[in-house]
Structure 1
Amino acid sequence: MPNTNAFDTAALRLFHEVAGSGSFTAAAELLGYTQSAVSRRIAALERAAGGPLFERLPRGVRLTSAGHLLHRHAAEVLDRLDQAGEELIALHRGSGGTLRVGSFATANADLLPTTLKRFAERRPAIDLRLIEGLSPHLIERLHAGALDMAVISDYLTTPPGELRLIPLLADRLLVALPRDHALAGEDEVDLRDLAQESWIEAAPRGQPTLLLAACSAAGFTPRGGLRVAEWSGKFGFVAAGLGVTLVPELAARAVPPSIVLRRLRGRMPARTVYAVLPEPALPAATELAGMLGEWEACTTATRT
């Protein structure tokens, strides 16, 4: 019975060269072996395969039926290994391979798409994979080795496990109003002027949010209204005149034309957005983190 454990890479590569050249001597010269060493290695491979792989001819050798079968599989295995080697080189150079990026939902409205478009134009050979999730879950995936980098928010202390935190931007709050709201024509809105409004919220009651922090800083507790989990859903309720809400500036691009966004007057709470990288990080992940840090400047330049 064949002993496939003996089909190591070096033996298969030697076998492949003998099959291709039809000569022990030619394969020995190509790979830097002696002819006797080649003969011994092929004989050992034939014992492992359970029978002859080559017919010995007066001048050279040729494959037997068993040899043809093994050669077909050996060629596929060696080709895959060579391909893996090339991809690993490209991965560690930052010019190829797969880059697994995690991100929280709001960053996928503009920050990630516009930056990944620039990155893909610069590194077209890199296969990008995006995983969306809450920031704590993305940190867990980084620790587990399931991500190469992540974009998170409000993680204000360096996570354990040799992860590197790179601040990207401060995500300010805007207020979303129906277009027919009395304050919709203002450039800036004082949050205190909205104290009597119904507020569309996302989090369960009692959970700390930026909305509660902002209203507390303005001196009032927001009147509870409808609770909607997703930002896109909140926009629909605001447009229908059922309340107002606060929107992270990162989500501004996703806001429909049926509502308006206005800046808030005074100092308002903001969340910090970070890129998080393992140590050591892939060169492509480090490059993408740098491009994410350029997003605000690129966005400003595009708008002006």
Structure 2
Amino acid sequence: MDGMPYSHGLYEVFLAVAHEGSFTAAARALGYTQSAVSRQIQVLEDETGAVLFERLPRGVRLSEAGRVLLPHAQAVRDRLAVARAELEALRTLDGGLLRLGAFSSATAALVPRAQAAFRDRHPGVAVTRVEGPSVKHLALLAAGEVDLAVVSPAAGGPAPEGVTLHHLLDEPMLVALAAGHRAAGRREVRLADLAGEEWIVGHERLEDTLFRPAVAAGLRPRTGLLAHDWIAKLGAVAAGLGVTLVPALAAAAVRPDVALVTIHPDDVPYRAICAATPPAPTVAATAFLALLRATARELIPQS
């Protein structure tokens, strides 16, 4: 064959000639024609401005310039070999890094279960994870600082340009009640049924809480206790100090002395949960997305 693949390059040919001691032997080792090898060496000599081989009656040997170039060519070859191996590891998920983002309640069960399954299947891939509001993760994704994020688009607004949303599930809202509460055994409740309750919320502005759609519909539940932390909220509920909204994804983390009942979707609609990726996600992000979808179906089967 007269042409040579880019992967060998000029340095690969140079090293083959230096090792074999002739253009003909190097061509045979590489699977090229002798004239192709000769041309590549001439190109390299033109680029370096030096004669790299002394032409002998039988074969060639390195010139002084060739001996200087030799260790550098070997270093280039070795670095390219490492790069090829690392790129192959990315393709086969034997290595690499996956950077995840997720909002807080998604990290109660959805993300950890998917992450555990991903680790079992691809232990060579390092996974990092940051938590925070959806709007933060959408911005990080658009900036190329995370590879995949689990978000609630309604909470974070429309996806920024350059972000693709993949629907995972529609999450119902639950109300957390003290175990002895009169509504604790019910399958579903309306907010009107809890009109006399003190609601424990995480923000003074209900528009910035899970109550946002209910407030937009004109409902204004009575709030008596502000607690930012889930442990504090559920502790107050267990003590009978009030009730609070809990997203279904966080249900697995609720303490046993607290009862959960589904809120009717006309009062607090289900919220969409999505995975967000760049338009062309990495191989690792694509594999993790598949596990997120499977985990979402297990946690909250969709009708």
Query: What interval of TM-score do these two structures reach, taking the shorter chain for normalisation?
Result: 0.7 to 0.9
Query: Are the equivalent residues in 1 in contact too, given 2:106–2:249 (CA < 8 A)?
Result: yes
2:98–2:285 contact (8 Å) kept in structure 1:
yes
Aligned to 1:292: 292
TM-fit CA distance, 1:42 = 5.4
Deviations 1:172-211 (A, max 9, x none): 1111123344443444444334333332211233534333
CA–CA separation in structure 2 for the residues paired with 1:259 and 1:135: 27
Against the structure 1 CA distance between its residues 251 and 281, is the aligned structure 2 distance closer, same or farther, given a 3 Å change threshold? same
Deviates more, 1:249-258 or 1:202-211: 202-211
CA spacing shift, 1:222–1:21, aligned 2, 3 Å: farther
Distance 1:178 1:234 in 2: 11
Deviation at 1:117, TM superposition (A): 2.8
Partner of 1:79: 81
Q: Secondary structure at the match of 1:256?
A: coil
Unaligned runs of 5+ in 1: 1-7
1:116 corresponds in structure 2 to 115
Q: Is the 8 A contact 1:95 1:284 kept in 2?
A: no
Q: Which residue of 1 aligns with 2:72?
A: 70
Instruction: Answer whether contact 2:214 2:220 (CA < 8 A) is retained.
Output: no
For residues 42-99 of structure 1, the C-alpha deviation after alignment (integer angstroms, 9 at most, x for no partner) is 5457657xx97999897654697745642552343222332244246x17xx786433
Partner of 1:11: 10
Could you tell me which residue of structure 1 aligns to residue 139 of structure 2? 140
| 1:53–1:67 CA contact under 8 A, matched in 2 | no
The answer for the alignment partner of 2:42 in structure 1 is 40
Q: Deviation per CA, 1:97-154, whole angstroms, max 9, x where unpaired?
A: 4333322121111111222333444445544333323211222222222233322103
Q: Percent identity?
A: 33
SS in 2 for 1:155: helix
How many Å separate the matches in 2 of 1:268 and 1:115? 31
- Whether 1:236 aligns to 2:235 is yes
Relative distance call for 1:184 and 1:39 in structure 2 (3 A) is closer
Partner of 2:195: 195
The aligned residue for residue 131 of structure 1 is 130
- After TM superposition, the structure 1 = structure 2 runs for residues 177-192 of structure 1, keeping only pairs within 5 Å, are 177-192=177-192
Pairs aligned (count): 288
Normalised TM-score (structure 1): 0.74
Quick one: distance in 1 between partners of 2:236 and 2:15? Answer: 68
Determine whether 1:167 maps to 2:173.
no
Contact 2:206 2:212 in 1 (8 A): no
Which consecutive unaligned segments of at least 5 residues does structure 2 have? Answer: 1-6
Q: Distance in 2 between matches of 1:188 and 1:111?
A: 23
CA RMSD of aligned residues (A): 3.9
- Which residue is 1:152 aligned to? 151
CA distance in 1, matches of 2:96, 2:203: 38
Q: Verify the 8 A CA contact 1:175 1:264 in the aligned structure 2.
A: yes
Kindly provide the CA deviation profile for residues 2-39 of structure 1, in whole angstroms up to 9, marking residues without a partner as x.
Answer: xxxxxx98333233333444544333341635353354
Secondary structure of 1:294's aligned partner: helix
The amino acid that maps onto 2:75 is: H
Q: Which residue of 2 aligns with 1:5?
A: none
Q: Classify the secondary structure of the residue corresponding to 1:184.
A: coil
